[in-house]
Amino acid sequence: MARDTADFAQQSSERAMQAANFGMTWGREFAEESFNQSRQAVDGFLRVARNMAEDFETQAIATREQMTSLTHKTLSNTMEFGQKLAQAKEPQEFAQSQSEFMARQAQMIADQTKEFGQKMQKAAQTFASNASSAMAEVTSRADQASKRQRAEV
């Protein structure tokens, strides 16, 4: 009976060690897979953030170029107006030059504003599309990893 008890104790301790080893292995594999999924998600979010920053930089460059162009055109128009005023000999020429200057300035600003608005709208759509597709990619990868993990278990 003592032998049976010793064997039983030995078998019980071996089974307990096997169960503990299995639990540790399963826990480690689960933790590793969870960590890998988290890493993929973080990498995806960083990629999205990088793309968003690049899109923002592109928008900033377009804005700067638009404003530089508007400033150049406005200053050129102002210089032309100043030159016409310097050459004006009659009050009607002064009034006509001023009227032409104001009309040109208003038209130029309206055109630039319209063009700028269109560019910004297109940039915003591109930005939203890029962010949406990047987030969909991250979500898809996380779902695939999750399915793989479930399949392995």
**DSSP letter string, 96-138:** HHHHHHHHHHHHHHHHHHHHHHHHHHHHHHHHHHHHHHHHHHH
Q: Between the CA of residue 68 and those of 34, 72, 83, 95, 134, what are the distances in Å?
A: 50, 6, 22, 29, 33
- How is residue 77 annotated by DSSP? H
- Residues 93-134: pLDDT tens digits? 888 999 999 999 999 989 988 988 888 888 788 878 877 777
- Residues 4-22: pLDDT tens digits? 777 777 887 888 888 778 8
